[in-house]
Copies of this chain bind each other. A is one copy, B any other.
């Protein structure tokens, strides 16, 4: 039986708690089952050097995990003096995804930074981060509009992310840590509610996958993303 007594294509309970930070322009705590990520969106009235003078804005992301977010403690990246390849890969993915969620040319000369810090990790931290980051970003933009910093909201493309895997021969959506560690194939999808994709990253963990399996995973993932986008919309109502 899967955690939370759910079917193979069901998400874990999703909780989006907006406004958890007193200081950030936008913030949300996102939970996918036992996975908890604190996401803040910070705004800054300048852009990176390569965009200066182009009149466009920028969205970037950083990702971190508290040392004891996981079953056993891992070394603190700040103490080690560098971020792991996994961290870099994830924060690059989050950044790319969120840049596709907002029309940068209408953002003004400003940077939105999404900090995704994993408080507790039970699988799916990158997909929960992206799902939460969209909410934090919208909240930050609303706050800028309310303060009169921007006159109207930039064009937004609601999107969310979910993991899909093949475990014991069956396609399952939103894997928890235990499932993830024994999955044969692992796929992360970032997409809109109507099935247009931003990112698709599939990896054969122990077994190659064919087109049919990929199709089944995409079907399951895109259906789940529809629910996640609905959950985002509700919290942003």
Contacts and interface: CB of A to CB of B under 8 A. Distances in A.
Interface string A171-184: 00000000000000
Given A22-B120, A73-B44, A66 B200 contact: no
Interface string A37-50: 01010101000000
A211 to B, nearest CB: 7
Contacts of A88: 85, 88-89
Interface string A183-200: 000010001100111111
A200 to B, nearest CB: 4
A15 interface: no
Contact of A82 (B22, B82, B210): B82
A27 B67 CA distance: 13
Chain A interface extent, by class: 35 or more
A68 B89 contact: no
Contacts of A110: none
Determine which residue in A34, A71, A78, A197 has the highest number of CB atoms from chain B within 10 A of its CB, and name it. A78
| Copies of the protein in its oligomer | 6
A109 to B, nearest CB: 17
Nearest to A75: B62
A1 interface: no
Contacts of A89: 85, 88-89, 92
A59 to B, nearest CB: 14
A67 B115 contact: yes
A123 to B, nearest CB: 13
A56 interface: no
Interface in A92-117: 92, 96, 100, 113, 115, 117
A68 B21 contact: yes
A214 interface: yes
Contact of A196 (B42, B64, B192, B208): B208
A76 B211 CA distance: 38
A75 B81 CA distance: 14
11 contacts: A22-B34, A23-B70, A23-B120, A27-B68, A40-B73, A62-B79, A64-B66, A66-B117, A197-B204, A197-B210, A201-B201
